[in-house]
Amino acid sequence: MLESYVTPLLMSYVNKYIKNLKPSDLQLSLWGGDVVLSKLDLKLDVLEQELKLPFTFMSGHIHELRIHVPWTKLGSEPVVITINTMECILKLRDGAQVIIREEKNYSLSYTMPKWRHDSETN
């Protein structure tokens, strides 16, 4: 019964970024609370709009997306979405500049904007 309320909510968040996702893909077990989706294609245009990086996304895939819903403690514990291996091919936008520094360790850090459901904007 709770699934009928939570599944559309999860769909509204996940479907924004994933191509060809159907509600039946997010069927959750009341007792297990986990759903695992594999080999997902990302909506590249949405990523570009949301992240506003100096790159164009050429392709993007998620190998595994796991959603854990703590049914018995839904009011006190968060729903956890875990991405296991996301691959993206990026191309530098025309006119964008990148400064490369010689270092032994490389890392990319980006703070994602807070996700907000459409009903929260009013």
Stretch 12-35: mean pLDDT: 77
Q: Which amino acid is at 50?
A: E
**pTM as predicted:** 0.66
Query: How confident is the prediction for the chain on average, in pLDDT?
Result: 76
Higher pLDDT, 60 or 28: 60
Counting Cβ atoms within 10 Å, is residue 15 exposed (0-12), middle (13-18) or buried (19+)? middle
The tokens for 92 are 């530098």
Query: Per-residue pLDDT tens for 37-72?
Result: 889 999 999 999 988 888 889 999 999 988 888 878
Place of tokens 């968040």: 13
What are the residues facing 36 on neighbouring strands? 66
**Does residue 106 carry a pLDDT above 50?**
no
Q: How confident is the model at residue 108, as a pLDDT?
A: 44
Query: Per-residue pLDDT tens for 79-92?
Result: 888 888 889 998 88
Distance of CA 85 to the CA centre of its chain: 12
Residue 25 contacts residue 37 (beta carbons within 8 Å): yes
Q: How confident is the model at residue 115, as a pLDDT?
A: 53
If you write DSSP's letter for every residue of 54-115 in order, what string do you get? SEEEEEEEEEEEEEE--GGGTTTS--EEEEEEEEEEEEEPTT--------SS-----PPPPP
Stretch 107-121: mean pLDDT: 49
